[in-house]
Amino acid sequence: MTTAADGGDELRLELHGITKVYPSVIANEDVSLSVKRGEIHAVLGENGAGKSTLMKMIYGVAKPDAGEMKWEGEVVHVENPAHARSLGIGMVFQHFSLFETLTVVENVALALPDNPDLNQLAEQITEVSTRYGLPVDPQRLVHALSVGERQRVEIIRCLLQNPKLLIMDEPTSVLTPQAVRKLFDTLRQLAAEGCSILYISHKLDEIQELCHVATVLRDGKVTGECIPAEETPKSMASLMIGKELPIPEHTAPSEPGEVRLQLNRLCKVSDDPFGTELQDIELEVRSGEILGIAGVSGNGQQELLYALSGEEPINDADAIVICGRASGRDQPDRRRSSGMGFVPEERLGRGAVPRMSLTENALLTAHQAGMLKRGMIQFDKISAFARKCIDDFNVKCGGEEHAANSLSGGNLQKFIMGREILLAPKLLVVAQPTWGVDVGAAAFIRQELIDLRSEGAAILVISEELEELFEISDRIAVIAEGRLSPAKKLSATNIDEIGVWMSGMWDQSAVAETAHD
Amino acid sequence: MIRLERRPEASQVMSYASPLIAIVLMLIGGLLLFAFLGKNPLEGFKVFFINPISDWYGVSELFLKATPLMLIAVGLAVGFRANVWNIGAEGQLIVGGIAASAVALYFHEAEGAHVLILMVIAGGIGGMLWAAIPAFLKIRFNTNEILVSLMLVYVAQLLVSWLVHGPMMDPDGFNFPQSRMFEDSALLPLLSDENRLNLAFVFALGALLAGYIFMFRSFAGFQMQVAGYAKDAARYAGFSAKRMIWIGLLSGGAMAGFAGMSEVAGPMGQLTEHVSSNYGFAAIIVAFVARLNPVGIFFASLLMALLYLGGEQAQQYMNLPSSISNVFQGMLLMFLLGSDVLINYRVCWKEARV
């Protein structure tokens, strides 16, 4: 995969000296790149390197302060996304831009220039979705879709407009290995048809497999351009982060200690008509181990997490036992005082309040750690806590007084992780620990989780990234259609087996086998 | 060409400058309005904004008018910060006034401080009871507190009207729809012999201070703010949504009820059909102009009180209808909502691209 598809050297997009300055930070400085017709061009960089800003300027969401953009040889000023779409530029955002109260087909219709017939459009969606292996029901409401499914809608929405340039911002973070392969087939097919693709990612293996050319950004500047097939992941990583990629050290598992989390035939009917019903979930997480739960998104992970966190308590108190206490009916703060920490999938708006400062966001869950005195907030203590969190977990930010929504996704995740870890939980439940986080930060977060478990915490990680689970877990289980498979020791299984289990097929022999472990 | 460009981070400066811009625009709008009505704008400005506070008595009247506004606005702001929208402070004020009047009339001809103390308690509880209805209905049946609290205003107005025409009517009052005048023991003590300003003003300042501490120093206030900014984050942290609805509505109700008490036991000295001069609604504007901040509420209440006094003067000396005050209030809110765009956007003066 080193040569672009037929179409010669015709340049579709050229950027020259693009600079974008925000009041507090230079997002892009003198960035130049060019994309040929039918080329899959990777833009590689850590969080905050300026990838998303650059793409937003191409798509007309932001305007460059300096520099020039040429589209098919002519200088253009993209006024807004509608203008970009009329030029033939489509973009799939990392943070989705869908209306939650509308159906899939209505959301797609909104992005189209004129008023399409919804029934006809629904058929088109079904057609595109089967063709590209992106199954989604056009009549479902978006709020009922999982993250993975929402992304499919975004991709389909772009594909329906037959773009000449497709920008994809971290597209594979929520897809199964099979779906990633299908997506790559789709993208290759599109490129062969002459569509250019700008592929933003930090996953080096994917870029090597898929992309013809890569432009590497660091701190808003281009630090290199390379042909991924001729590089090693190591060499690309060093271009990207300026040093060698840290690899988590997985110390040998200690003897598992006491049971910190026990689920006894946990059942839960979802309030959501499109939700997944949890059926008889049995699980044990012990001190000193990381239990990973794999699964394709939308198979009950959200329901399980809401039940575990206490955001949706259940009637049967004994179904969830946290550090020896029957906690099914407890609210989240009560569970926290039992020793549980929780990192949710959504960082902005759930794990953190977007408009509040990091200090105030620390208070969100740290208030039980001596931050209050007769109901009054001890501001000096809480800001010291926030500062420690920023320092210990390398959170890149303007300071603890800056708002949570001024941080990049990865840095906010580090902050939330840090906040929960600094509270020294006996049990930590983490959803998608490194979703949309760059390699450097992801490796850091994984290392922190491993260290925390080595210090004796029990950790439950629910993730849709299999490689991640295999990197950090001691035992692994799979959730499919609201049922949980038995957990297997990592040494006793492999990615292929777990991949099969992800479709719900763990047979009786597997159960018998684990019983002997 | 003027363009609006989104700011990367919401502007703190603008969130405080926006009310000032709105005030200036309201003044300009007012001058234009005077001109359209065939009055001399400068003369109008003088009558409206200068004359009412040209002497110390005028200033004391300003504080007197501002007292119920401060009380109600700070109570409402507590709830508004958590997105609990109590629009019915007007009704809660009336019911507080009724409850306090009932105590005053029951202890007619009684001496002693207990009368006033009981009136304060009755006023607060009356307002809270009225606000508890939308709170209970919201928690139990998920009704919309905006509609319920607003509709209860009209119920309260009819209730007070019935009472002063019936059970609470002054027996020696020639059938005027009003209660007996209260005894001295049922009136709030005046701060000075020269004017009508009473003890309620001191309470209002205390309420602002207490509100400030609650909002910015207490954990409960923090929880309410989290719920207002991000509901899911409040749920994630385990903050009780029910508790916030109760606190939000009851604080507004209690303060409005006390404001009602301070009116009947203050400048009015009796219960009439017109307990309130729309203070309950004006206080909503005050709370928003003040950015839900008690310091701001102090100044915004004075401004709003000035609009009341100015309206009276304009009626007296310029032959303008009494609704002129409402027009100014309306302009203020409208310009505020308009200028709030500048918090998230900035104006760019750029050449239009060809």
Q: What is the pLDDT of residues A215-232, one digit of tens each?
A: 998 888 898 888 988 888
Structure tokens at A167: 């920008």
Query: Looking at residue A178, what is its pLDDT?
Result: 67
**Sign, CA torsion A430/A432/A436/A441:** positive
The residue with tokens 């930090």 is A202
What does the alpha-carbon distance between residue B114 and residue B112 come to, in Å, rounded to a whole number? 6
Structure tokens at A131: 């063709």
Q: What's the mean pLDDT when you consider all of chain A?
A: 85
What does the alpha-carbon distance between residue B70 and residue A24 come to, in Å, rounded to a whole number? 38
The residue with greater pLDDT, A360 or A150, is A360
Query: Looking at residue B350, what is its pLDDT?
Result: 62
A504 near B CB under 8 A:
no
> b/e for A68-87, b at 16 or more Cβ within 10 A?
ebebeeeebebeebeebbeb
ipTM, interface predicted TM-score of the complex: 0.83
Query: Looking at residue A497, what is its pLDDT?
Result: 83
Question: A446 near A468, Cβ under 8 Å?
Answer: yes
Backbone phi, psi, residue A215, to 5°: -110, 130
Query: Treating both helix axes as pointing N-terminal to C-terminal, what angle do A409-422 and A358-366 enclose, rounded to 10 degrees?
Result: 40
Using DSSP's 3-state secondary structure scheme, residue B2 falls into strand
Residue to test with chain B: of A376, A405, A412, most B Cβ within 10 A: A376
Query: Looking at residue A53, what is its pLDDT?
Result: 87
> What is the least distance, in Å, from the CA of A46 to any CA of chain B?
20
User: A354, B237: Cβ pair inside 8 Å?
Assistant: no
User: Containing domain of residue B250, as a range?
Assistant: 68-288
The amino acid sitting at B209 is: L
Question: A247 near A77, Cβ under 8 Å?
Answer: no
Query: Looking at residue B115, what is its pLDDT?
Result: 93
Residue A61 CB coordination number (10 Å): 18
What does the alpha-carbon distance between residue A463 and residue A297 come to, in Å, rounded to a whole number? 9
The class (CATH top level) of A248-339+425-517 is alpha beta
Query: Looking at residue B353, what is its pLDDT?
Result: 45
Backbone phi, psi, residue A206, to 5°: -65, -45
CA B286 to chain CA centroid, Å, is 6
Strand partners, A226: A214
B242 near A CB under 8 A:
no
What does the alpha-carbon distance between residue B251 and residue B253 come to, in Å, rounded to a whole number? 5
Q: Which of A63, A349, A363 sits opposite B230 (nearest CB)?
A: A349
Q: Which residues of B touch A335 (CB under 8 A)?
A: 238
B1 near A CB under 8 A:
no
User: B233, A364: Cβ pair inside 8 Å?
Assistant: yes
Residue B329 CB coordination number (10 Å): 21
Which chain B residue shows the shortest CA-CA distance from A357?
A: B226
Among residues B330, B324, B326, B340, the alpha carbon closest in space to that of B292 is found at B340
Structure tokens at B167: 């059970």
Task: Collect all residues with Cβ–Cβ distance below 8 Å to B147 and sequence separation of at least 6.
Answer: none
Low pLDDT (below 50) residues in chain B:
352-354
Domain ranges of chain A: 11-241, 248-339+425-517, 349-423
Strand partners, A19: A66
- Confidence class of residue A481 from pLDDT cuts 50, 70 and 90? confident
Which chain A residue shows the shortest CA-CA distance from B227?
A: A353
pLDDT digits (tens, 9 = 90+) for A237-261: 778 877 766 666 666 666 778 999 9
Query: Looking at residue B127, what is its pLDDT?
Result: 97
pLDDT digits (tens, 9 = 90+) for A406-425: 887 788 999 999 999 999 99
pLDDT at A517 over 60: no
Nearest-Å Rg of the Cα atoms of chain B is 22
Question: A308 near A332, Cβ under 8 Å?
Answer: no
Structure tokens at A321: 């036992």
pLDDT at A4 over 60: no
Question: A460 near A288, Cβ under 8 Å?
Answer: no
pTM for the whole thing?
A: 0.77
Give the angle A219-A48-A362 at the CA atoms, nearest 5°.
130
Residue A320 CB coordination number (10 Å): 26
The class (CATH top level) of A11-241 is alpha beta
A350 near B CB under 8 A:
yes
- Which pairing describes strands A290-294 and A458-462: parallel, antiparallel, or unpaired? parallel
Query: Looking at residue A436, what is its pLDDT?
Result: 67
Task: Collect all residues with Cβ–Cβ distance below 8 Å to A94 and sequence separation of at least 6.
Answer: A52, A169, A170, A200, A409, A436
A333 near B CB under 8 A:
yes
Q: Where are the alpha helices (DSSP H) in B46-174?
A: 56-80, 89-106, 114-141, 145-165
Question: A47 near A437, Cβ under 8 Å?
Answer: yes
Question: A96 near A150, Cβ under 8 Å?
Answer: yes
- Structural domains counted in chain B: 1
B180: left (phi over 0), alpha (psi -120 to 50) or beta: beta
Query: How distant, in Å, are the alpha carbons of A55, A58, A169 from that of A83?
Result: 15, 11, 19
Determine which of A25-29, A206-210, A248-252 has the lowest per-residue pLDDT on average: A248-252
Q: Which of A77, A351, A363 sits opposite B236 (nearest CB)?
A: A351
- Confidence class of residue A95 from pLDDT cuts 50, 70 and 90? low
What does the alpha-carbon distance between residue B94 and residue A424 come to, in Å, rounded to a whole number? 52
Q: Which residues of A touch B235 (CB under 8 A)?
A: 311, 332, 350
B212 near A CB under 8 A:
no
- Residue B134 in any domain: the answer is yes
- Taking residues A155-166, what's their average pLDDT? 87
Question: B336 near B304, Cβ under 8 Å?
Answer: no
Query: Looking at residue B342, what is its pLDDT?
Result: 86
Question: B346 near B7, Cβ under 8 Å?
Answer: yes
pLDDT digits (tens, 9 = 90+) for A376-404: 999 999 999 999 999 999 888 888 888 89
Task: Collect all residues with Cβ–Cβ distance below 8 Å to B352 and sequence separation of at least 6.
Answer: B1
Question: A99 near A142, Cβ under 8 Å?
Answer: yes
Structure tokens at B102: 């009932």
Nearest-Å Rg of the Cα atoms of chain A is 23
Query: Looking at residue A92, what is its pLDDT?
Result: 85
The residue with tokens 């253009």 is A76
User: B235, A332: Cβ pair inside 8 Å?
Assistant: yes
- Residue B54 in any domain: the answer is no
pLDDT at A349 over 70: yes
pLDDT at A168 over 80: yes
Which chain A residue shows the shortest CA-CA distance from B352?
A: A79
- Which pairing describes strands A11-21 and A66-71: parallel, antiparallel, or unpaired? antiparallel
B345 near A CB under 8 A:
no
What does the alpha-carbon distance between residue A42 and residue A184 come to, in Å, rounded to a whole number? 13
Task: Collect all residues with Cβ–Cβ distance below 8 Å to A258 and sequence separation of at least 6.
Answer: A286, A287
Using DSSP's 3-state secondary structure scheme, residue A479 falls into strand
> What is the least distance, in Å, from the CA of B349 to any CA of chain A?
14
Among residues A375, A304, A377, the alpha carbon closest in space to that of A344 is found at A304
Question: A71 near A10, Cβ under 8 Å?
Answer: no
- Confidence class of residue A9 from pLDDT cuts 50, 70 and 90? low
The residue with greater pLDDT, B19 or A276, is B19
pLDDT digits (tens, 9 = 90+) for A442-459: 888 999 999 999 999 999
The residue with tokens 């001024």 is A406
Residue to test with chain B: of A353, A355, A408, A416, most B Cβ within 10 A: A353
> What is the least distance, in Å, from the CA of A404 to any CA of chain B?
10
Structure tokens at A223: 């630090």
Query: Looking at residue A384, what is its pLDDT?
Result: 94
What does the alpha-carbon distance between residue B14 and residue A338 come to, in Å, rounded to a whole number? 43
Strand partners, A427: A340, A458
B354 near A CB under 8 A:
no
pLDDT at A427 over 80: yes
**End-to-end Cα spacing for chain B:** 12
Q: Would A11-241 and A248-339+425-517 be classified into the same CATH topology?
A: yes
Strand partners, A92: A168
The residue with greater pLDDT, B344 or A473, is A473
> What is the least distance, in Å, from the CA of B285 to any CA of chain A?
23
Query: Looking at residue A223, what is its pLDDT?
Result: 87
- Which pairing describes strands A40-45 and A213-218: parallel, antiparallel, or unpaired? parallel
